[in-house]
Amino acid sequence: MSKKVLVVDDDPDVRLFTVTVLEQHGYTPLEATNGEEGKQMIKEDRPDLVILDVLMPRESGVRLYRELKTDKKLRDLPVVILSGIAEKSFLRSQKALTEFGGDPVPEPEYYLEKPVEAEELARTIQKILG
């Protein structure tokens, strides 16, 4: 059975792009449109990888990433951040949240800044999932 990859992004075009790349490379794509929905699907569908946007309505990628990496059961689930936000800004917000009294979280496995070429996205996924 092919590996499941969850795409969490509020932009339908981004989802469509990523989903097509995944299909072309033989993965099973799953889609969520915000952090809340993403969290639920991670628990229910047990994906092998999460491709996560940062700026989303309802629950942002910053928060979902924190929740995943501080959850004993989920912290080993690999996450690729795919965002228009620069990696620096993402790390800065995580650091601020940690200083504010949260647990420290590791840096994401891979951080891709939009726009991303299909090949680079595919290469990254293959590196993680083989």
Partner 1 sequence: MNRLLLIDDEPDILRVLSRSLRSDGYEVLTAENGKEGLAVFQKERPAIILTDIKMPGMGGIEVLKAIKKKDENAEVIIITGHGDIDNAIEALKYGASDFINKPIRDEALSLALKRAEEKIRIREQLREYTVNLEKKVEEATRELRRKTNFMAKLIRSSNDGIIATDKHFTVVLFNPSAERIFGYRAEEVVDRMPAKSIMPKEIIESFRGESTGDDQRAELPWQETTLPIKDGSRIPVRFAGTLLHEKDQVVGSVAFFQDLREIKRLEKEVVHAERLSAVGETVAGLAHGIKNILHGLKGGSYLVDIGIENEDPDKLKTGWEMVQRNIGRTADLVLDMLNYAKEREPEYETCRPNEIVEDVASLVAEKAERNAVSISLELDPEVGELVMDPRTIHRVMLNLASNAVDACIFDKNTGKQWQVQLTTARNGADMVRFAVSDNGSGMSDEVKKTLFTSFYSTKGHRGTGLGLLVTRKLVEEHGGRIEVESTLDQGTTFTVHLPARPADGESLEEDKPQFSGEEESK
Helices 87-99 + 61-69 axis angle, to 10: 60
**CB-nearer residue toward partner 1: 40 or 46:** 40
Count Cα neighbours of 73 within 13 Å in the Cβ-side half-sphere: 5
Residue from 46, 96, 107, 118 binding partner 1 (CB under 8 A): 118
Structure tokens belonging to residue 36? 């809340």
**CB-nearer residue toward partner 1: 13 or 99:** 13
**CB-nearer residue toward partner 1: 84 or 102:** 84
Q: Does 99 bind partner 1 (CB under 8 A)?
A: no
| Amino acid at position 23, single letter | E
DSSP state of 60: -
Residue from 3, 11, 97, 110 binding partner 1 (CB under 8 A): 11
Structure tokens belonging to residue 23? 């299909």
Q: Does 115 bind partner 1 (CB under 8 A)?
A: yes
> Residues for the chain: how many in total?
130
Contact letters (x/-) for partner 1, 65-94, by CB under 8 A?
Answer: -------------------xx---------
Helix H or strand E segment including 28: strand 28-32
CA distance linking residue 113 with residue 86, whole number of Å? 6
Among 6-14, 39-47, 63-71, 73-81, which window interacts with partner 1 (CB under 8 A)? Answer: 6-14
The residues of the shown chain that bind partner 1, judged by CB under 8 A, are: 10-11, 13-14, 16-18, 20-21, 24, 55-58, 84-85, 113-118
